Structure 1
């Protein structure tokens, strides 16, 4: 009964997620690409790449998988060859989305904690290079997934669906590959983000105490520090993005680790796994919402974009 309820929830949840997440990420890409949000070119590069990979995750892992399987069970996208290619793509863009979030976190860590390194590392050129390398490596590491898949069923002599081959579960080589994949996504990124954020918080607290002592206290309170004020927006953005990632991925990470470490796999609830996947995919929509909440200039650009069709239609009417 529990599985049936979860299946019913998924049938409603994924279309809503796609209907909301796809346009939200497209809008974020358009606004960020204009470069008028008051963010550095380095940060903008990471945010653009993250929005693009989040959009691709929604397409490959939501629209072309659960939605296509549920509402279009015999469509072109359920053919095994197409499904296998899509599997490679969704694993690669998911890994890229995760690792770009990690490198964005590391970039902010360098900016705040490594004064000598930041002038060379926190640049648009470095960010662009890292983005391309990450995407290329994630794609290459996902290619073996194509050869681990076999048809799930056959309709009119056409192989359809994607199921892991029996060798995937029995072969030591595939077991090692699966362990590597689990380590790279999400275990290492999860630990790395916690580490970088904790070091960044520690540095911020130390710097804040030092600055308070240097500036002293006036009759109206602590004097404003221009540098700390400039950092504030970047810090809020960093902690919001990394915090939402850690929160939404926690359920999936706990489930995956418990499944790997436990000898009683049959005791693990499939419902728990489904909830973890739903929360994980929700993280593809949160970044754009975070920009709206934390970035005043992003909000202004969004308002301008929403007003533009109204202004254009009024001009056409007057003309």
Structure 2
């Protein structure tokens, strides 16, 4: 997590929402102090600790108490955190905090469910670059909170030779050769394959990672038998949660799922301002 970038992002998000001031809260509450609690209305896996820590730096007048940590599961009715400070500040920051924590906790929960389907195997669940523009760092962090791993963060992380690269280059072999010539020893080369001939080419050209794209479990298992153990095998392309267990039996090392970040639902969480002091929390 790049905490400097996160702080900058949050400042922009708050600026977008607050503008020149929360006229409703400022008119009603003036200098009143208060407390509020963020309560889960549905189960999930928490992802928001880093956000709260950054909010503390931007709004030192707010005090937060966390009752869950990143990566912890929670049930409906659970009090996730408590906030104390100026009521106007609590209410003006509420929406940005909720939007992010709800979104990220949903991603973490979906990832946790996907990872649970790999129990008893060495297969890892990975995300993709199918993230919300501007939120990639946070959404990929949420995947980690759910027990998954991250694929490349951007086009500059690693070589990933896809179908259009291969079509334009003329062959898998040519594309890998050019990538090897351009890249340094620290940068891995992954190639996406769609048929048996491409699998053979990728192995012969010594790709570091071979992605089996848009294939069923049986086809994947057949191709995995052709790939030496020192080459990492990734399965990708429309894999659903219900298919994970079948794919874990193919011999692949990684299953990447774009839906973790592009289709996860948000967890319902609300902020309740306390009218009188609570003495205990769920």
Q: TM-score, normalised by structure 1?
A: 0.22
Higher strand share: 2
Higher helix share: 1
